[in-house]
Structure 1
Amino acid sequence: MDLDTVRTFVAAADAGQFQEAAAELAVTQQAVSKRIATLERTLGVRLFTRTARGAELTIDGQAFLPHARELLRVAERATASVRTGRRPLRVDVINSRGAATGLMRGFHRAHPEIDLDVVMLLDGVETAVAAVRSGAIDASFRAVAMPGRPLPEDIESVRVLDEPLQLLTGPAHALAGARSVTLAQLAGHRIWMPGIVPGTEWAAYYDDLVAEFGLTIEATGPNFGSDALLDTVADTPALATFMSEQTRLVWPAGHGLRRIPVTGPTPVYPHSLLWHRDNPHPALTTLRAHLAATPARHDAAGTWVPDWVLPR
């Protein structure tokens, strides 16, 4: 059903005259008559009776009027739901325990008036880019760009946080008592990271870390999530894992896990915000300004990132 014909019917019913309805809608009286005739053909009933005083609703017209008003209200609500600035800002944070979630929580505290829809796309940067380009999300936190896979020209990015990695060990691990460890000291130790997904930007990051410093990172076995990872590391003296500094973890007191800073240099994971350059959502501008004012620790002395990571 054409909403213009419904809108014209309501205007004519309220005015009682086609001429006044035409003036209100800024169309000709002939256009009003044609729209009403089209609606009557669609419905198969007469809606108005012409009188000397104008146009009066028929019984069918009176029955249809409240429904016509509701159709227009529903159409307005539907339009408002996607009108720029009216719908929630939709942002991908990859997972609920990482640094990107912390950044978005800080943004929400600073701007509680902005509606947010936080999602978690677990695949790599290409999935995130496709979602940004299609409009499924407004922005995504990623490490960009993977070797040989530059970002499309319509995708903008800004590096927002360099997050140090830490070594996580159980109480019986050989390095559990260390206040810090160097990357050279980690050579020969088994680092287990079953959450690494081949082809993702974080897989590329750890591949370069292994190649640069001669580490042994194993991604074997099913990924049962962080709780199972913590259980295994706590019970297995031969295994350790890397954990980002701001990853939020809770484990049973009996696990005795240790989070140990890594130095010489400190590997940092580079988080960037991605968005489409033509995205008009005003809250996206607010988010970018908020992140620009957040300390990011870019390229700090004594840190390492792969050479493919985009600069600030």
Structure 2
Amino acid sequence: MDTEALRSFVRAAELGRLRQAADELGMTQQGVSKRIAALERALEVRLFTRTARGVELTLDGQAFLPHARSIVAGVERAVAAVRPGSRALRIDVLGLRSAQAVVLHDYWRSHPETDLDVVTLRVSDPRVAVAAVETGDIDASFRTVTDPAVLPADVRMIPAFDSPLELLVGPGHPLASARRLTPTELRKHRIWVPGIEPGSEWAEFYDQLATDFDLRIDAAGPHFGDEVLLDTLADSSDVATLVGARDRYIWPPTHDLRRIPVENPTLAYPLSLILPRTNPHPGLRRVVAHLGSLAGLPEPVWLPSWATEQRRGHTASRSR
């Protein structure tokens, strides 16, 4: 059924005059009449009778009006649900306890009027997130494509923020009493990061981190969840892991785990934001501004080479 014909019928019924309905709908009176006539033919009933004052609903028209009004309102809600600026801003994060989610929560607390929908695509391949941005399923994604040349022409990637890493250990670990550590002091210690998936951005990150600082990154075994990881750390005297300083981890007080900053240089995980090149959701502008206002990290900072190259390319493109 033609929803525009239904819209014309509803406005004519509410106003009682075809001319006024036509003016509101931005069309001619004849156009409104033709739409209503087509609707009557489809329904095989008369909806209006003409009077000296305009039009009045027939009994069939009176019965049909509330249903037509409901259909028109439903269509308008459906359109609003997918129109940028009139629907929630949908942003993909790696996890609801991740640094990205924490930063977005901080932003929302400062801008509670923002209609924000934080989602997790639960995929390791950043190209899947790129495709979701390209099709409009999400408005932006905190993912990184380490080779920006493979991005589609209508999608771009900008630096979001850098997440400093901390060593997370149990009370029996040799480094548990340290207040801060350097990357050199992590050598020869087992750093367990289970579930690193080949082809993921974090796989490339940990590969280069291990190479540059001669670290022992152990990805053995499946990742059974944060709770199992935290239990293992609490009971171990030789296993540690790396976590983002803003990442949320919750454990029982009896675990007595310690988060130790790694500095000189600060090891940082680079986070990027993937978004459409044209017609991005209007709400993204303020989110990007919030990301740019975040405090910098203690110098010097180590980033993987691909992140450094992307920053140079981003700076060069902005200066043109």
Q: Give the TM-score taking structure 2 as reference length.
A: 0.86
Q: Deviations over 1:101-136 (max 9, x none)?
A: 121011111111111101123323222211111111
| SS of residue in 2 equivalent to 1:282 | coil
Give, in whole Å, the separation in 1 of the partners of 2:203 and 2:39: 60
Identity %: 52
Give, in whole Å, the separation in 2 of the partners of 1:157 and 1:83: 22
Residues 42 and 218 of structure 1, relative CA distance in 2, 3 Å threshold: same
Equivalence for 2:8: 8
The AA in structure 2 aligned to 1:8 is: S
Equivalence for 2:232: 232
Residue 169, structure 1, aligned to residue 169, structure 2: yes
Residue 305, structure 1, aligned to residue 306, structure 2: no
Show structure 2 runs of 5+ residues with no match. Answer: 316-320
Once the two structures are TM-superposed, the CA of residue 157 in structure 1 deviates from its matched residue by 2.8
My pick for the range that moved more, 259-268 or 98-107, is: 259-268
Residues 110 and 58 of structure 1, relative CA distance in 2, 3 Å threshold: same
My pick for the range that moved more, 172-181 or 97-106, is: 172-181
Give, in whole Å, the separation in 1 of the partners of 2:288 and 2:257: 36
Equivalence for 1:44: 44
My pick for the range that moved more, 18-27 or 202-211, is: 18-27
Equivalence for 1:75: 75
- More helix by percentage: 2
The AA in structure 1 aligned to 2:302 is: W
Give, in whole Å, the separation in 1 of the partners of 2:247 and 2:232: 18
The AA in structure 2 aligned to 1:227 is: E
| SS of residue in 2 equivalent to 1:227 | helix
Once the two structures are TM-superposed, the CA of residue 160 in structure 1 deviates from its matched residue by 2.9
Mapping 1:128-143, distance limit 5 Å: 128-142=129-143
Give, in whole Å, the separation in 2 of the partners of 1:186 and 1:60: 80
Mapping 1:99-248, distance limit 5 Å: 99-122=99-122, 123-142=124-143, 144-147=144-147, 150-248=150-248
Once the two structures are TM-superposed, the CA of residue 185 in structure 1 deviates from its matched residue by 2.9
Mapping 1:268-279, distance limit 5 Å: 268-279=268-279
| SS of residue in 2 equivalent to 1:181 | coil
| SS of residue in 2 equivalent to 1:158 | strand
The AA in structure 1 aligned to 2:184 is: A
Once the two structures are TM-superposed, the CA of residue 33 in structure 1 deviates from its matched residue by 3.4
| SS of residue in 2 equivalent to 1:240 | strand
Mapping 1:52-91, distance limit 5 Å: 55-91=55-91
Residues 261 and 9 of structure 1, relative CA distance in 2, 3 Å threshold: closer
| SS of residue in 2 equivalent to 1:217 | strand
Once the two structures are TM-superposed, the CA of residue 67 in structure 1 deviates from its matched residue by 2.1
Q: 2:195, 2:223 within 8 Å by CA — same for their partners in 1?
A: yes
Equivalence for 1:262: 262
My pick for the range that moved more, 264-273 or 216-225, is: 264-273
My pick for the range that moved more, 227-236 or 166-175, is: 166-175
| SS of residue in 1 equivalent to 2:142 | strand
Once the two structures are TM-superposed, the CA of residue 249 in structure 1 deviates from its matched residue by 1.9
Q: 2:266, 2:299 within 8 Å by CA — same for their partners in 1?
A: no
Q: What number of residue pairs does the alignment pair up? A: 309
My pick for the range that moved more, 48-57 or 74-83, is: 48-57
Residues 307 and 109 of structure 1, relative CA distance in 2, 3 Å threshold: same
Give, in whole Å, the separation in 2 of the partners of 1:176 and 1:245: 17
Once the two structures are TM-superposed, the CA of residue 153 in structure 1 deviates from its matched residue by 3.3
Once the two structures are TM-superposed, the CA of residue 19 in structure 1 deviates from its matched residue by 5.4
Residues 103 and 11 of structure 1, relative CA distance in 2, 3 Å threshold: closer
Equivalence for 2:318: none
Once the two structures are TM-superposed, the CA of residue 39 in structure 1 deviates from its matched residue by 0.6
Q: 1:161, 1:295 within 8 Å by CA — same for their partners in 2?
A: no
Once the two structures are TM-superposed, the CA of residue 149 in structure 1 deviates from its matched residue by 6.0
Give, in whole Å, the separation in 2 of the partners of 1:235 and 1:90: 39
Once the two structures are TM-superposed, the CA of residue 29 in structure 1 deviates from its matched residue by 4.3
Give, in whole Å, the separation in 2 of the partners of 1:260 and 1:223: 22
Residues 304 and 12 of structure 1, relative CA distance in 2, 3 Å threshold: closer
Once the two structures are TM-superposed, the CA of residue 182 in structure 1 deviates from its matched residue by 2.8
Residues 53 and 187 of structure 1, relative CA distance in 2, 3 Å threshold: closer
Give, in whole Å, the separation in 2 of the partners of 1:145 and 1:22: 51
Alignment RMSD (CA, Å): 2.4
| SS of residue in 1 equivalent to 2:304 | coil
